Amino acid sequence: MAKSALCIGINNYPGTDLDLGGCVNDAHDWAALLGGRGFRVTSLLDAAATKAAMAEGMRRLIGEAAKGDLVVITFSGHGTFVPDTSGDEPDRQDEGLCPYDIQQGGGALIDDEIHRLFAARKPGVKLVLISDSCHSGTVTRALGGEQPADLPRPRFMPYANWAPQGRAAAPAATAARGGARATARGRPPFKPALAAHEGDLLLSGCEEGPNKFSYDTRFKGRANGAFTYHALKTLREVEAANPQATYTDWHRAIAKALPTASLPQRPQIVGSDAAKNARIFG
């Protein structure tokens, strides 16, 4: 079985006023872990992580994989949403990952596009997506602007911060319809992109839904995503206790560390029972 990984980390979001601090460190940390486990690792950091480069990186790794191979994609950066134009979302919003050039014309890499990239894989290729970002339905801008570097900040980019001119109000209108946005509260982001019969798995830093965030913060003076930090810490602990530990074991350990009073995020695991009970990165 061949193993390959794409690790994406974006701190710098030109033109948005919403730069982050720990995402590149996250990507380095995931790359070091996976490289030490025999993965062939490619990284995209800051300016290299354009929408086109992210899509091409996923397409290439998935296209090269054969039956029985494992592809892991990690993303640390802002998440966002866009108005759903295909009619496949009950809340009328598509979740998206924010590339470096989101405000420069690249736009978000939305779940429909990720679904098409994942669907192109050969039968029997297993995919694991680890997303340390927000995919919240809120439209508030109160979370933006300058914040002290030592305070946690959400990894969520409101649509209005990057939307094409003249379209910034579209999600707000959707949200206000009937006084509240129709939403499947807690519905996991990117679930439509996963194929249960292929053993796909999603680990995300927080639930989807209004005011659900993954946080960018610091641990012992070093910037990291809260989810990434605790995921890597607990992985060492669960495998020390049981070298055959499963993704379910891992998720349970992360869930004991998060949420906290200052980091109110609830990590999710999504996949078939077989996928969740498989050996971690095995």
pLDDT over 60 (residue 95): yes
Residue spans of the domains in the chain: they are 3-276
* Residue environment code for 145-161, b if the CB has 16+ CB neighbours within 10 A, otherwise e: eeeeeeebbbbbbbbbb
pTM for the full model? 0.85
The fold for domain 3-276 equals: Rossmann fold (3.40.50)
What's the mean pLDDT when you consider all of the chain?
83
At 187-202, the pLDDT tens digits run: 555 666 677 667 789 9
Share of the chain above pLDDT 90, in %: 59
DSSP category for residue 44: E
> Using alpha carbons only, how large is the chain's radius of gyration in Å?
18
pLDDT at 174: 36
pLDDT of 169 above 60: no
Give the pLDDT band (50/70/90) at residue 80: confident
pLDDT of residue 189: 56
Model confidence at 96, pLDDT cuts 50, 70, 90, reads confident
Of the ranges 55-69, 88-102, 127-141, which one carries the lowest mean pLDDT score?
127-141
Query: 183-187, 210-214, 232-236 — which one is most confidently predicted on average?
Result: 232-236
The answer to whether residue 86 scores a pLDDT higher than 60 is no
Contact (CB, 8 A) for 127 and 65: no
Greatest mean pLDDT range, 77-91, 94-108, 187-201? 94-108
Of the residues 134, 135, 206, 230, which is catalytic? 134
Residue 49 in contact with residue 9, Cβ under 8 Å? yes
From 94, 278, 132, select the one nearest 198 (Cα to Cα).
Answer: 278
pLDDT for res 84? 59
pLDDT in tens, 15-62: 888 999 999 999 999 999 999 999 999 999 999 999 999 999 999 999
Q: Which residues contact 18 (CB under 8 A, 6 or more apart)?
A: 78, 144, 157, 161
The residue that leads in pLDDT, 1 or 161, is 1
Does pLDDT of 90 surpass 90? no
pLDDT at residue 261 in the model: 92
Question: Contact, 43 vs 7, CB < 8 A?
Answer: yes
**Residue 78 a catalytic site member:** yes
Q: What is the arithmetic mean of pLDDT over 164-172?
A: 47
Amino acid at position 68, single letter: G
Which of 78, 135, 230, 251 is labelled catalytic? 78
Q: State the pLDDT at residue 143.
A: 36
